[in-house]
Amino acid sequence: MHIDWTTLALQAVNALVLVWLLARFLFRPVAKIIADRQGAASALIAEAAAAKAAAENAQRRAADEKARFEAERAKLFDATAAEAHTLKVALEQDAQADIAALRARAQADIDAARDAASRADAERASSFALDIAARLFERLDPAARISGFVESLARQIAALPEAVCEQIGRSDTPIQLSVPRALSETEAGACRAALTKVLRREPRLEITVDAGLIAGLELRTAHVIVRDSLRADLERLKAELIGNDSNHG
């Protein structure tokens, strides 16, 4: 086999030239284009990764913000529920206190009305009794409206403490003796004699007529009052009636 080295050399040169030309005008631009595209792709990938990371961060922040919002809402709801419960309890307590106060006032009004009615009844009964007593004593002997009370008044004075009896009639002011009608000389003398006996000295008397006594005598000084009259008895009876009605109420 014969080898033409010249032809082979020329072909080799042609091949080298072709390779150089390809490398110069094809491979390098293509490589550059590929490198540029790879760089652009890498940039795009980096941007995408950055965007993904930013999105993930935003998502995490949104999740954290949502969780914080949910926690704040739950806290606010609990606080509102607690405040509402406290307000409800306070309102219930105030309502119960108001009801109790209303009941107390109503009961007080009822008791006051009942007491007023009892007192009014006692007043009417007392007035009626006074009228009846006055009419009955008008039919009796006028002497009985005085004579039956002289000794009784003297006994009441004698029952007073000794120091009080010593003060009666000691001053220059006369003793006031109230009577239901004008006294005769005999009746006035009997009163002076009874008082002189119990006081162991003759008192100065100032006798005044008080028809409201109905019957009996009443003695007044600056230090003591001794009542022995039908009016005083009826007033004591009236006080007892009112007291009994109040106790029963």
The 10s digit of each residue's pLDDT in 221-242 is 888 999 999 888 888 877 776 6
User: d(Cα 49, Cα 168) in Å, to the nearest integer?
Assistant: 124
Q: How far is CA 135 from the centre of its chain?
A: 55
pTM for this entry:
0.49
Residues 135 and 148 reside in one and the same domain:
no
Residues 92 and 175 reside in one and the same domain:
no
Domain of residue 94 covers 1-139
Tokens of 206: 């100032």
pLDDT computed for residue 208 by the predictor: 95
pLDDT computed for residue 130 by the predictor: 66
Identify the domain boundary among 139, 170, 190.
139
Of 124-133, 140-149, 217-226, 240-249, the one with minimum mean pLDDT is 240-249
Residues 71 and 129 reside in one and the same domain:
yes
Residues 84 and 178 reside in one and the same domain:
no
Overall number of domains in the chain: 2
